[in-house]
Amino acid sequence: MESKVLDVLRDRVLELGPKPDAGGPYRNFKLTRDADGVAWVLFDRADASANTLSSDVMEEFDAILTALENQRPTGIVIRSAKTSGFIAGADVNEFRGATDAREVETRIGRAHAVIDRLEALKIPSVAVIHGFCLGGGLEVALACQMRIAIDDARFGFPEVMLGLHPGLGGTARFTELISPVQAMTLMLTGKTVDARRAKSLGLVDAVTQERHVRNAVRDAVSGRLKRARPGAMNSLLNFGPVRGFLGSRMRKEAEKAAPHEHYPAPYALIDLWETHGGDKAAMLTNEKRSFANLMVTPTAQNLIRVFFLREQMKKLAGGGNTVKHLHVIGAGAMGGDIAAWCAHQDIRVTLADMKPDAIAGAIKRAADLYGKIVRKRTEIRDTLDRLMPDLDGEGVRNADLIIEAVPEKLELKQKVYAGLEPNMKSGAILATNTSSIPLQDLRTTLAHPERLIGLHFFNPVSRLQLVEVVSHDAADPQILKQALAFVGAIDRLPLPVKSSPGFLVNRALTPYMLEAMVMLDEKIDKTVIDAAAEKFGMPMGPIELADQVGLDICLAVGDMLRSKFGDLLPPTPAWLRDKVTKGELGRKTGKGFYIWRDGKVDKGGPAPNPTQVTPEMIDRLVLPMSNVCVACLREGIVDNADVVDGAMIFGTGYAPFRGGPLNYARTRGPQNVADTLRALAQKFGDRFAPDAGWADFQ
């Protein structure tokens, strides 16, 4: 929604009737009454671009409810004065560092009382919702008698992403209003639904356009609006024995994505509904206690930390993106997917490759991706129109940014640069997607090395949020600033790193995957190795990850890093070279360590016995990552430990509930980690030797 539309709406509302509270006692709200006697409560949190629910906001909202009860308007409308959306949820900053569940329960209880009071109003209450309506914002809307959605609205409960479940009455009201199976699915996955889907679920009573809001409100307040009502099936699904059966199925599904030992929130939510569903009062009471107990778990506190790490990294992008036309050279798995993602983010993209089939394959993958992530057919068409095949490479001449994504061979990349540099326009940026080659080596043949930087994306591009923005001592600071802004503009998280072999992420990840190869040489089954990593909390094991990345890429990066760091890395087995020579590269060829069918891994056979996984196996895999991260801090490759943790989570999927490899080391104890590495070095070799940086790490 354009800001002008909402500004006009807000001005119209404020112009109607008397304005007893305009500029009055409320800091975060504007309260007025229109010509129909309807009170409009416009939520406009001070000093913030989005509305969130904090303690002071809830206290002020409580005071407004008191005023409304005294004034007795004909109806109450609650909506946002922010163009960004309705309410983004609770202010999670207030719960950072929480350790006392009883204190959390008391605080959440005060907010509960305000929401309960809203629900109990005898005056018709309407939530008018545009943009996002998430978490606590959806709980405010659920407490209103009616909900009207603008057609751009989106609804969801993302609390599970923070190791929590809804805590302001949402568990009870949501499972009462719509099918509890649908409600539980949305709360357990954190997925959002659009306005039309919300209407079909019975979550909202009407979907309209901004210009029709006034009439929709009149219909709601006067009783003419046809309201969504819970169906008879809801009562059946909330029946005790049925809840028990469904709860058991939900636990099995949850275990596939979020193991109970690492992520307690889904199971706490299932327990809450299974035990108290259908009894609203009991569910509301027990929701507060369950929420408070979850809030003080290490999982929730680490996931809240991850939430703020994301916000911290977003700020690194700055603003003022100047890239309107991107030219990508290389239509392989990485180059093609980078081009597709950037076109999806409203960037005009030309995609070049020497092979027409490679470009055609990239366009097909892009169309498949857009079919999954773009809602409207017209938007898919427009996005594909921005992604232009460019077999002759003519896009170089007009591009603001050129990303080279050809294979990891120094001579090949330098040959590409020699052909394109004379054709680049003044001020254009040259970026490489190299995953390991230092920029000091790449720049040697360039006439203008100052405009070379690294933009290292991660596979799959559409899912992994991190982009390493790589500098070198001859790079133009203004170009680096523009590159950071570009990464932010395509909805990715930038990590500024200094050029060094493997940069941060691949340097930390390579020991993880190569140690798995050493374990294979020790005749440890590959599924057991992967199970060890997954037991720690990694989204996939190192063997499967190697297949996903590509064994040729793993080999090239491993060779590059071993040439620089020698015995600090595990040896590269000869049989890995043989697999690459035979074309068994992993997912992209259908066979690597595992068989891949339609992009899905087939591990075959029964799951490994958990007793085969030992703590030593886990330490061998994960502690070298922490060791490398400490080394990169000490060497100045990166300069912020928190951002290092964010990079490893958003670039590799490192177990989010552990808060990152440095946070894990801090939690376990730096001395304990260093001592364990020392013991592993004595048993397995110097590659485990603790870095000197542990002496100063806190």
Active site residues: 139, 159
3-state class (DSSP) for residue 460:
coil
DSSP 595-618: EEETTEEE--SSPPPGGG--HHHH
d(CA 274, CA 182): 15
For residue 688, give the DSSP letter.
G
- In the numeric block, the tokens 């993302």 are attached to 158
3-state class (DSSP) for residue 146:
strand
Is there a contact between 657 and 262 (Cβ–Cβ < 8 Å)? yes
d(CA 561, CA 137): 48
For residue 473, which of 449, 496, 494, 503 has the smallest C-alpha distance?
449
d(CA 584, CA 590): 8
* Cross-strand partners of 432: 404, 454
- Helix, strand, coil share of the chain (percent; to 5): 55, 15, 30
Cα 91–chain centre separation: 18
d(CA 290, CA 268): 7
Cα 508–chain centre separation: 21
d(CA 172, CA 310): 30
* Cross-strand partners of 148: 128, 206
Assigned token pair, 570 = 């595990």
Query: Rounded to the nearest 5°, which phi and psi values hold at 596?
Result: -120, 130
Query: Rounded to the nearest 5°, which phi and psi values hold at 427?
Result: 90, -5
Is there a contact between 601 and 547 (Cβ–Cβ < 8 Å)? yes
Q: 642-654 burial, b for 16+ CB within 10 Å, e for fewer?
A: bbbbbbbbbbbbb
DSSP 100-135: -HHHHHHHHHHHHHHHHHHHH-SS-EEEEE-BEEET
Phi-psi map region of 15: left, alpha, beta (phi>0 left; psi -120 to 50 alpha): alpha
d(CA 80, CA 87): 7
Largest distance between two CA atoms of the chain: 82
- In the numeric block, the tokens 């805590």 are attached to 167
Q: Are strands 154-156 and 192-194 parallel, antiparallel or unpaired?
A: antiparallel
> Which ranges of 258-320 does DSSP label H, i.e. alpha helix?
265-276, 280-295, 298-316
Within 499-623, strands assigned E span 595-597, 600-602
DSSP 155-169: EE-GGGGGT----SS
Cα 294–chain centre separation: 21
- Tell me how far apart the terminal alpha carbons of the chain are, to the nearest angstrom: 46
How far is the CA of 328 from the CAs of 332, 349, 394, 502, 684, in angstroms?
Answer: 10, 7, 11, 22, 43
Question: How many H-runs (helices) and E-runs (strands) does the chain carry?
Answer: 28, 20
Is there a contact between 134 and 310 (Cβ–Cβ < 8 Å)? no
Is there a contact between 655 and 693 (Cβ–Cβ < 8 Å)? no
CB atoms within 10 A of CB 123: 16
> Which ranges of 24-100 does DSSP label H, i.e. alpha helix?
55-71
